[in-house]
Amino acid sequence: MTERVALIIGAGDAIGSAIVRKFALRGLTVCAARRNVERLEPLVKEMTAAGQRVHAFSCDARKEDVVIDLFARIEADIGEIEVVVFNVGANVPMGILETDSRKFFKIWEMACFAGFLCGREAARYMSKRGRGTIIFTGATASMRGAAGFAAFASAKHGLRALAQSMARELGPANIHVAHVVIDAAVDTQWISDNVPESAALKLKDGIVAPDDLAQNYVMLYEQPRNAWTFEMDIRPWIERW
């Protein structure tokens, strides 16, 4: 029996790890990928002890040969990739006068170009089977560019456009492409350390919990194709639009 695989690219400590856990709970074999693979060791140990099937990979999603090899290894050694989540972050605030070409290009590579590489490889395998789900993680910057976020906003706008184009092209091939706009702060260590009111916000459900956020990714994967969602925007009940 062929393993059903969920590949999470950008399996960070908060959102990415929560998505990994949620797909494992739905019975999929999960492949978690991030640049610093050693940081996945506690997650893999925890999930393995719980009897879940999880594999960790080192992946710099900006490198074409690395991405191609990642997909090929999983397909050959583990199972068929049913769902791919691109969750690579690159939220680096900087004023336009401090944004040199190297910084701008690096942020674009991480948040947009890497999404293209991962999305294309996913489509190559899924199109052969006539099924699959590809989910891209967006942000407030996908919709509007705030002051001090020119590089990040341009990359996230580009990722959203990529997702739109892929959804229109691949939908008729029975491949569901979705884009998730996280239009709020998420309960991460960075938020706890840098937002003084974060503890008070958590008490009144005013900040996004990674586990609750991750449930939406599973829901998108499980949607029937007669009612697919392309874009979902997520924010807590007190967040202003």
φ/ψ (deg, to 5) at 63: -100, 115
- Give the C-alpha separation, 216 to 8, whole Å: 14
Q: Which two tokens stand for residue 51?
A: 């009897």
The model carries a pTM of 0.95
Average pLDDT, the chain: 94
- Is 90 exceeded by the pLDDT of residue 1? no
How many angstroms separate the most distant Cα atoms in the chain?
56
Q: Of 56-65, 88-97, 232-241, which one has max mean pLDDT? A: 56-65
- Counting DSSP H helices and E strands in the chain, the numbers are 9, 7
Q: Mind listing the pLDDT tens digit for each residue in 125-150?
A: 999 999 999 999 999 999 999 999 99
Q: What is the pLDDT of residue 46?
A: 96
Q: What is the pLDDT of residue 187?
A: 87
CATH class of 4-231: alpha beta
Q: What percent of the chain has pLDDT over 70?
A: 99
> Domain locations in the chain?
4-231
The least confident of 20-24, 125-129, 185-189 is: 185-189
Q: What is the pLDDT of residue 239?
A: 83
For residue 176, the cross-strand partners are: 133
- Is 60 exceeded by the pLDDT of residue 86? yes
